[in-house]
Amino acid sequence: MLPPYLLGWEILITGMTTRAAGRALIVLCALLCAACVSTAIDYEEPEPPVVEEETASLPGTELEGEGEVPLAIAADEPESVVELPDSEELAEVIIEGRIPTRDEVIINLVGEAESLLRAAELEYVFTGKGKREQLRGRPVIFALWSENRQEWTMAHVEIPRPPVSWKPGGKPLRFVLDTPGVKARHVKGTGAERLMFAFSRDDEQLKVFGRKFPVFDSALLKKKRWREVVSTARPIVYLPFTEDTFDPLFVSAGKEFLLSTARQALDELRAAQVPSFAYAETLLADVIPAELVATLAVIEQTDDTEYTQKQVEAFNEVLSQYGLKKGEAYRYSVSSASALGAMQFTDRRGNGTYSLVVRRCRGAQLDPDFERGATNLLNAMKAAICLLDLELSQMRKDIRLAYRDNPMVLGIFPVAAYNGGPRNVTRLYNVVKKANVKLEELSAAGEQPAVKPVRCPCLWKHDDNGVRPVAIPRYNNENRWYIEKYLNILRLFE
């Protein structure tokens, strides 16, 4: 008997192009043959997706909502979110007569969902007449896969049009479901990057492998020119994180992808001989470790509440997205403060952090176009390296000296500045002193004591008795949790 995740291969043929269908059919035949002669393999059925209840925000922490994706970014949508296997790769599977791994099956299901979604039409509904005419909501389509029926379903959902005031832990998000026989429950998010629902039919959890989402012109929304909003809308086909697409191989691939991209950014800065602002007669590429940059690409996309609930698994979910979608991951991530992309830069009409870095770090040859530069991960990582160095250059001498000796752990200071500006560096420095921790005693996160664990967010102190946690005194709750996440994610990149 074939493992459950292979049963969808025959349905992938439906609706494909002739070339794609032929490739899938060849692979399916090979897999069936392999199954006939392979009787000693023990297949483990994957766990059904877990849909979690929405939780209240952390005490003292107001979770930001999602902002609108700029229309220019939607217009530059890539042809595919994931890299589909080519003919040679499929031929290797046939020749080897092997059963594809779960990550390979996921990639193919995501690819088929993309094809189906691009052909599907979004359905807009207007209410009222004349000057009172309004766009009722934002239509979204989800590509759902049924393991039981071995078929696809396109679920049509309508969510409120922008601006959306929903927040985690608050009132449920209002929505309209227009797909008979299917039940839906809002899970998280409201925007292009994170909006996700859980779907079921006849007590079966349907798996989500894609979503079609229209991006609107913000200026037309403000003017309430609804017909023009619809006529200029740019639909994007994208897949936010779901349990259905999580795989440990994507996690490891995501980590390696981020590290390799960060190293490439450093190599390009070194080749350009870009100098450091923080350290005289030193190249910028020799100041910021690749691991530090890679961690920021994860931390910026890890929600505080999810981190407190899931710990390292919250990081793994983000890494899984990078492993599956590579450079397209989080390109549509927009905060309520209009911070954009994986590294969450701001523009603010030419006065944001991205514009500052472009002006100050000319040797890096950063893309001057904010929307294009912030959504290109390699370019955004180079900008982040420049910004971290600029922040270091403004810090106290003892911090800069300690950082040179231990850049990964003392990275808490440029990381604090990256999250909230130089004011948070001063606050963090003062609370480190208040906690009776010397700069040279700071450590990466260790293990909580079995008896009387310390309530975090925490710093970690290394002394003669080993590494122990020290609660971070209150100063800025968002920044405290940012430091907590940073010190704990270091272990993943060691």
**Cβ–Cβ < 8 Å for 345, 333:** no
Render pLDDT for 270-328 as a digit per residue (tens, 0 to 9): 999 999 999 999 999 999 999 999 999 999 999 988 999 999 999 999 999 999 999 99
Give me the torsion for CA of 344, 302, 260, 374, rounded to 10°. -10
What residues contact residue 177 under an 8 Å CB cut-off, 6+ apart? 155, 156, 157, 183, 184
What is d(CA 169, CA 61) in angstroms, rounded to the nearest whole number? 12
Q: How many domains does the chain have?
A: 2
| Three-state secondary structure call for residue 85 | coil
* Residues 128 and 1 grouped into a single domain: yes
Per-residue DSSP letter, 340: B
399 domain residue, yes or no: no
* Residues 388 and 295 grouped into a single domain: yes
* Residues 341 and 213 grouped into a single domain: no
403 domain residue, yes or no: no
Question: Residue 347: left (phi > 0), alpha (psi -120 to 50), or beta?
Answer: alpha
Render pLDDT for 390-416 as a digit per residue (tens, 0 to 9): 999 999 999 999 999 999 999 999 999
pLDDT of amino acid 85: 57
* Residues 271 and 231 grouped into a single domain: no
343 domain residue, yes or no: yes
**What would the two tokens of residue 150 be?**
């071995």
pLDDT of amino acid 78: 73
Render pLDDT for 37-53 as a digit per residue (tens, 0 to 9): 333 323 233 332 322 33
Domain limit, last residue, from 377, 393, 409: 393
180 domain residue, yes or no: yes
447 domain residue, yes or no: no
212 domain residue, yes or no: yes
* Residues 315 and 330 grouped into a single domain: yes
Element (H, E) at 234: strand 234-238
* Residues 223 and 287 grouped into a single domain: no
* Residues 118 and 174 grouped into a single domain: yes
Strands 234-238 vs 183-188: parallel, antiparallel or unpaired: unpaired
363, 365, 388, 441 from 271: Cα distances, Å? 10, 12, 19, 35
Domain limit, last residue, from 216, 242, 268: 242
Domain limit, last residue, from 393, 425, 459: 393
* Residues 156 and 29 grouped into a single domain: yes
What is d(CA 301, CA 344) in angstroms, rounded to the nearest whole number? 9
* Residues 224 and 263 grouped into a single domain: no
**What would the two tokens of residue 170 be?**
């608050």
* Residues 129 and 182 grouped into a single domain: yes
| Three-state secondary structure call for residue 319 | helix
**Cβ–Cβ < 8 Å for 306, 286:** no
16 domain residue, yes or no: yes
| Three-state secondary structure call for residue 149 | coil
* Residues 238 and 256 grouped into a single domain: no
56, 125, 206 from 388: Cα distances, Å? 32, 47, 43
222 domain residue, yes or no: yes
Side-chain half-sphere CA neighbours of 372 within 13 A: 7
pLDDT along the chain (494 residues), means of 10: 45 40 41 34 30 29 67 82 58 64 92 96 95 95 96 97 84 94 95 95 97 95 95 95 95 97 98 97 97 97 91 96 96 91 91 93 96 97 98 97 96 95 94 94 93 94 92 92 95 85
CA angle 226, 336, 459 (to 5 degrees): 165
pLDDT of amino acid 349: 81
pLDDT of amino acid 163: 82
pLDDT of amino acid 165: 81
Owning domain of residue 121: 1-60+88-242
What is d(CA 328, CA 189) in angstroms, rounded to the nearest whole number? 18
Nearest alpha-carbon partner for 419 in 312, 337, 307: 337
* Residues 238 and 96 grouped into a single domain: yes
